[in-house]
Amino acid sequence: MSVRRVRVVAALIAAPDHPDAYLVQQRLPDKSRALLWEFPGGKVEEGERDEEALVRECREELAVELEVLGKAWETVHAYPDLEVTLVLYRGRIVRGEPQPLGANALRYATPAQMRMLPFCEADLPLIEQLAGGGIGG
């Protein structure tokens, strides 16, 4: 049996009042990796560019218009059922207030606070990098 591979884009969105806190979302209880935390975003569809996918996902799941500012980080993570290429882009909300349309909950969290939350495994190296002084991009 071959492992399913997906490309996922996520947004690193700083809190308006706290540049060291970022928007994170909790997965829905009926999804795979239920109730784990992650950075907002989603799968890149066939024929879509990363930036287009991220703008679409933020519109659908957060009800905001996102400006994609540039690639900040990338990793490949193998789950038992899935291999994920996760690409993180810095983003800025240009219109709207984030709503948990495609998530169980939303919050802004610092890297130290993120370490206390149960995150998807693919995000853990990113949190450690953020906690250690940030990432490029």
Give the pLDDT band (50/70/90) at residue 133: confident
Integer angstrom CA distances of residue 126 from 1, 52, 108: 30, 22, 16
Read off the pTM.
Answer: 0.94
Q: Does residue 7 register a pLDDT over 70?
A: yes
Distance from C-alpha of 137 to C-alpha of 69, rounded to nearest angstrom: 9
Model pLDDT for residues 66-77, shown as the tens digit of each residue: 999 999 999 999
Task: Work out the average pLDDT over 25-38.
Answer: 95
Exposed, middle or buried, 86 (CB in 10 Å: 0-12/13-18/19+)? buried
Sorted by where each starts, the structural domains of the chain and their CATH numbers stand as 4-127 (3.90.79.10)
